[in-house]
Structure formats: structure tokens, C-alpha cells
Amino acid sequence: MLTREEMRRLLLVHGPEQEELFAQSRESRDKHFGPTVVLRGVIELTNVCRVNCDYCPMRRDNVRVNDTYFLTADRIVELSGLIRDSGIDVVLLQGGETPSVLPILQDAIPRIRRLYDNRVEILLNVGNLKRAQYERLRAVGATSYILKHETSDPDLHFAIRHETLESRLRCLRDLQEVGFKVGTGLISSLPGQTLDSIVDDIELAGELGVDMCSVSPFIPAPNTPMSVSPIGDNELALNIIALLRLRHPHLLIPSVSALERVGGGGQARGLDAGANVMTVNFSSAGDQKRYLIYGKDRFVVTLDHVRGLVRASGLEPRGSVFIERHVASGAATR
């Protein structure tokens, strides 16, 4: 078992030692999941958010100046049809944190399930909600939920998100108790983040008992209080992916678009480091420009890009790992 001290050291390795770390991580991934990559299709629901994260251009203070939008349930179902036609059975619905998306989701989710004849994982990423709201989303057929802890350092978390880490973790526990498969995630290279706190992030994923965890290198975005902070280090993010895999082999770990944004070829290296999920963007070109996750010039992941990377990495695309159990539980048919 890796000690904290060993993890701190491995977070900074380069060259042959990093390649050895990645090789061990790939071996662990392939042992648990086979040499496969889960494909997701994402639809971005809205760029309106009630939270004011200092690193995000969709933060509350920017809502008045941003070109805001909400997708209708009809449009979400239409885009889900494109995901289905691409052979992808994980529909990720994500957006800013606002209760206004709830009625839209409650309308759209059962219709998406019908579109797929129930053979679908509906994965949500719409932030902190009340437990009763999570229960409603689960009851209409959502399968899984991403709620990133971002950083396990409570002071840093509050300083950059103006929300407590505790409230985030409470929501994560609610989600698990309500029956969701749950994902967390962290941002690496945040100003003020220590190696020790990154080791805490890796350990927290285990303590929470989550099913998924992402790693995104920090990207300074325009029109945010952190726009002049230094861009994140891809190598550090890749080493975190590898250590997460070695510490918690069962996790779904995406190779995120931010890796591509920081450095060309970053997502291929994410797969090399042991990631096993890739997400294709199905939002319309107009909405992609308005969904300002890293500012206007973010890297938008296409199906061709993902298929090319998966093939070049010697891996096979695959479907959801959660559908079987969900269908068996009967929740899918509600």
C-alpha cells in the first residue's frame, strides 16, 4: 500500500519513473475494467449558476453580463437522441447550479429513458440540492451524479467557492443514501494548494466510497477573479490520475477536456495514466460558446476525437458500467 510520503513523492515524478507509474496504473485499470474506455455524451443544460466560484466564468456575478440560456426538455430529449444514435448509453446532463433546471430534468429524464428503452445511464451534474430534490431526480430515473469536492482543504474550498466543503460532502452523502452512483473530483494546481492536500484529495475519494473521480488541472479563465493565476501543471494532474487508480482501482476516472486545453495530447496521456472514461460534447455549437466553463476558447471534444484517441491508445470503447444493476433494481422503470 502506498504511504502518504510515497504519494507526495510520486506526485512530482517525471521521465522513466513517471512512465513506470503510468504502466502500473494501466495494469490496474485493465485488471479491473479490461482495456476499455466508457464513453459518455454530455448535454450542457444552462450557463446560469447561483454559486460564485472564483475560477468560473459562469459564476453568479457574471450572470447579468453573460448571454444566458436554458435548454427546454424537448431540446434535451432531441440531443439525447443524437447521443443514442452515436451508440453511447451514458447521457450526462450538466449545468450551473440553479433550481430552475429541476422541472426541466423531471420532464426530460423519463422521456430519455423511453428513448433508450431503459438501457441508459442518466448521469447528472447540477450541484448541491436538497435531499428531497435528489430523491425526486432518482425517482424519475436518474442513475448517477457527479458532485466534485474540488479541493479537500476546507479553507481553500471556502476561499475560492464561497461555500463550505462540509455542505458539499453532506450532499454527496445524501446522494449515496438516495441510491445514486456517485462521482467526486478535484482541481489540481490551485493557487495555495499543497501536495499534502492533494494526497488528502486522493484519500477522500476512498473515504467517501465514491464510484467515480475526476482530476482537472486548473485553468485561469477570463472574467474571473483568478484570471491571472498561473495555468495548472498537466504532469501533476496525470500523476494524480495514476495515483488515484493505484489507490482506488475500481474508480471510473475520466480523461477530461481540460487536459487537452492545457497541453495538446493531454487527453491521450490521461488514458496512458490510467483514466477510463471520455466524454463527447453534444451541445449545439451556439450553446458550446455560451457554456463558458473555461472561457470562450475551451477545447470541445467531438466523437471523432474520442474514437481516434481510444483507438490510438489500444483501448476499446464500452458502455455504462452501471446500467445492469439499475435495471435489475427496478428503479429504471419508475
Q: Interface with ligand SF4 by CB under 6 A: which residues? A: 49, 51, 53, 56, 58-59, 96-97, 127
Least distance between ligand SF4 and beta carbon 147 (Å): 10
Residues 143 and 93: their CA atoms lie apart, in Å, by 11
**Pair 51, 162: CB distance under 8 Å:** yes
- Write out the three cell numbers for 194: 499543497
| CB of 226 or CB of 268, closer to ligand SF4 | 226
Three-state SS for 13? coil
Residues 129 and 34: their CA atoms lie apart, in Å, by 35
Least distance between ligand SF4 and beta carbon 66 (Å): 11
Element (H, E) at 260: helix 257-262
Least distance between ligand SF4 and beta carbon 76 (Å): 18
| CB of 127 or CB of 254, closer to ligand SF4 | 127
Q: At residue 159, what is the residue type?
A: A
| CB of 25 or CB of 46, closer to ligand SF4 | 46
| CB of 121 or CB of 150, closer to ligand SF4 | 150
Least distance between ligand SF4 and beta carbon 43 (Å): 15
Q: Show Cβ contacts of residue 3 under 8 Å, excluding neighbours closer than 6 positions.
A: none
| CB of 154 or CB of 308, closer to ligand SF4 | 154
- In 3D, which of 105, 94, 109 has the Cα closest to residue 256? 94
Residues 121 and 125: their CA atoms lie apart, in Å, by 13
Least distance between ligand SF4 and beta carbon 1 (Å): 33
Least distance between ligand SF4 and beta carbon 151 (Å): 12
| CB of 58 or CB of 198, closer to ligand SF4 | 58
Residues 219 and 65: their CA atoms lie apart, in Å, by 21
| CB of 89 or CB of 174, closer to ligand SF4 | 174
Least distance between ligand SF4 and beta carbon 58 (Å): 4
Helix (H) and strand (E) counts in the chain: 14, 8
| CB of 97 or CB of 260, closer to ligand SF4 | 97
DSSP 78: H
Q: Cell 443514442 belongs to which residue?
A: 84
Least distance between ligand SF4 and beta carbon 258 (Å): 12
Q: At residue 220, what is the residue type?
A: P
Please list the helix, strand and coil fractions of the chain in percent, rounded to the nearest 5, in that order.
45, 15, 40
- Write out the three cell numbers for 193: 494548494
Least distance between ligand SF4 and beta carbon 144 (Å): 18
* One-character DSSP codes across 207-243: HHT-SEEEEEE----TTSTTTTSPPP-HHHHHHHHHH
| CB of 58 or CB of 186, closer to ligand SF4 | 58
